[in-house]
Structure 1
Amino acid sequence: MVRAKEKRDERDFQTHEEARRALFEYIEAWYNRRRSHSALGDVSPEEYERNASTRSAAA
């Protein structure tokens, strides 16, 4: 059994593959979408997309 502990979520995984998938989903679905990226002017991808939508609507 693999144990993963985080402040907001504590789970037991039956296999390393299950833990790997959960980690991948966390990184791709949450972390990378919300952290700032220097290539985007130090804003998160979500904020960048919001700003782009606002600029497009104003044009």
Structure 2
Amino acid sequence: MESMLLKPEEVAECLNVGRSKVYELMRAGALESVQIGACRRVPRAAVTAYVESLRANLVAS
């Protein structure tokens, strides 16, 4: 079973960016995340939504 929530490091690997960029996107609100205790996690659907928003901005330009 695939995890519903991804660690920032896993998101970075999926997006082919650095971990600090993932935290920057979360802080800016561009990438949805949730907090579980002291851990920050990103829903798998949020990664897909973020990529779709990038594609939509590309088409709109």
TM over 0.5: no
Q: Could you state the TM-score of these two structures normalised by the residue count of structure 1?
A: 0.37
The higher-RCO structure (CA 8 Å, 6+ apart) is 2
Bigger Rg, structure 1 or 2:
1
Q: Could you state the TM-score of these two structures normalised by the residue count of structure 2?
A: 0.37
